[in-house]
Structure 1
Amino acid sequence: MDYFIALVGALLAGGINTLSGNGSAITLTILMELLGLPADVANGTNRVGVLANGIGGTYAFQKAGRFTDQPEAKKREMWRIVIISCVGACVGIYLSLIISNAAYKSFFRYLLVVMLLVLLIKPKRWLVPQENKPPLPLWITVILFFLLGIYGGFIQMGMGVFFLAVMVLAAHYEIIQANVVKVIVVTIYTVLAVAVFAWQDLIDWRIGALMALGQLVGGYLTARFAATHPKAGLYAYRLLIVVIIGAIAKAFWPF
């Protein structure tokens, strides 16, 4: 029964990761609380599912043309964001091996409260593409996405939420297109993360394979829906609010 719950949870997390973010809050809870893995092994094992999730989502978005069917200038900008974020993630992966993540988790929960307020104030900013806004200056792009990459490489949980916020509110991307870039970034740096955690023998491959199956299917189906459904942006925005509220409740419980 525990493994069945883990599979269903991974399927749900795969959909949440693809459309909004923070699905790792579900999978890490399952790995640590339900299956009893130590925190470091749970962190490593979780990356296997995240990688499978990213592969499924990337394939579905690519098949729908959500990355290739863009103006050349936009494609160059998206690849620049991908590269900068992945370089930052390499630093974050290294930090995850030498630093305790307790302080980061404490900081993370207060960031979630701020993020919820940002989501609820002027929701139109999330739902209406602001294509008339100028692109971010290169130096700001480098700083923002390098820091996001460090966070994602270090702890992963919540990376999608913060990445979407920067993409939509600062870089002025439409929310589904922002999700496309997010999925590609996470997939690329997670390849390295899985290799490093495997080298450190911090992955339970049997459980990781089970979680990967669920997240692969969940990621693919959700990306396929998001790439074609006309109201996918609205659903992504609403799901993001629900995910953040749930994460805040979990982070501050017990009060």
Structure 2
Amino acid sequence: MSLFEGMLLVFAGAFAGFVNSIAGGGSLLIMPLLIFMGLPSAEANGTNRVAIFIQNIFSVAGYRSKGVYVFPFAIYVAIPAIIGAIIGSNIAVDIGDKVFNRILAVVMLVVMAISIFRPSINIDPSEIINKKKTWMSVIVFFFLGIYGGFIQAGIGFLIIATLTSIHGLNMAKTNSIKVFVILCYTVAAVIVFYLEDKIRWEYGLTLAAGNSVGAWIGSRWSVGKSDKLIRLILLVMVIALSIKLWFF
């Protein structure tokens, strides 16, 4: 890895971490960037998981330090997500580069459309975690795990939508569950990609350093700020990168 590539990954990682703190969807930028830097799609996918893993260690610790956690519910939904992620990761390592790139291009556009133009969800203001709704989430999180293991990009939006619509959880609890589940299934994904030799550790660790810095800055800056500008910037970049992935 050249000095230029290292600097590019640090800055891109910082921006992705910042975006994740403000609006989510940082992997929508990192995945195509790694592919454009010459990594095969499976290696780009696996390498991105290193940064995701390290970033979420700090996120989980941060929420716990503030006393925000939802156990044992978080464990209940993390287990099926881990199983799903093993399935999704194995699919990802076997799929061809061209097919994966086109799937990623479509996913990027769909996720961005949902995140920007998403309709408001009318939920019961009371938090409900009962047996019936927990089983609903267990089933949904299995499929979310497959998606997360396969491609990762935009998984945060899907988890938030699931927890708020089914259980009516506030955003602090929702995000604490989200980062815990992503941390857990990312361990499984990293193992799968590692066993298949699909991780470029020098890229992943450099990217993780940037992610951590960006997430710290973004989390402090974002208090009381609007995320409209960030979403607009992200939308323009995602459209351009999707066109590049599909046609070139």
**TM-score, with normalisation over the residues of structure 2?**
0.79
The equivalent of 2:213 in structure 1 is 217
Whether contact under 8 Å (1:56, 1:217) holds in the other structure is no
Whether contact under 8 Å (2:17, 2:26) holds in the other structure is yes
The equivalent of 2:67 in structure 1 is 65
Written as runs of structure 1 = structure 2, the 5 A alignment for 1:96-115 is 96-100=92-96, 101-102=100-101, 104-105=103-104, 108-109=107-108, 111-112=110-111, 115=114
The equivalent of 1:163 in structure 2 is 159
> Which one is further off, 41-50 or 74-83?
74-83
Cα distance in structure 1, aligned partners of 2:164 and 2:125: 11
Paired residue type of 2:9: A
The equivalent of 1:186 in structure 2 is 182
Q: Which of 10, 13, 22 pairs up with 2:13?
A: 10
Cα distance in structure 1, aligned partners of 2:141 and 2:217: 27
Q: Which of 112, 115, 126 pairs up with 1:132?
A: 126
Q: Which of 76, 79, 99 pairs up with 1:80?
A: 76
The equivalent of 1:54 in structure 2 is 56
The CA RMSD over aligned residues, in Å, is 3.2
SS at match of 2:153: coil
SS at match of 1:91: helix
Cα distance in structure 2, aligned partners of 1:167 and 1:246: 28
Structure 2 gaps of 5+ residues are none
Cα distance in structure 1, aligned partners of 2:240 and 2:171: 25
Paired residue type of 1:88: G
Per-residue CA distance 1:160-203 (angstroms, 9 max, x = gap):
12112212233322223212111111111212222222222212
Quote the offset at 1:151 in angstroms: 0.2
Quote the offset at 1:80 in angstroms: 1.6
Whether 2:22 is the aligned partner of 1:28: answer no
Whether 2:120 is the aligned partner of 1:122: answer yes
The equivalent of 1:202 in structure 2 is 198
Identity percentage over the alignment?
27
Quote the offset at 1:210 in angstroms: 0.7
Quote the offset at 1:241 in angstroms: 4.9
Quote the offset at 1:23 in angstroms: 0.8
Structure 1 gaps of 5+ residues are 68-73
Whether 2:92 is the aligned partner of 1:93: answer no
- Closer, same or farther: CA 152–18 of 1 in aligned 2, 3 Å: farther
Cα distance in structure 2, aligned partners of 1:249 and 1:222: 23
**TM-score, with normalisation over the residues of structure 1?**
0.77
Whether contact under 8 Å (2:133, 2:167) holds in the other structure is no
> Which one is further off, 16-25 or 181-190?
16-25
Cα distance in structure 2, aligned partners of 1:204 and 1:253: 25
Cα distance in structure 1, aligned partners of 2:33 and 2:149: 21
SS at match of 1:253: helix
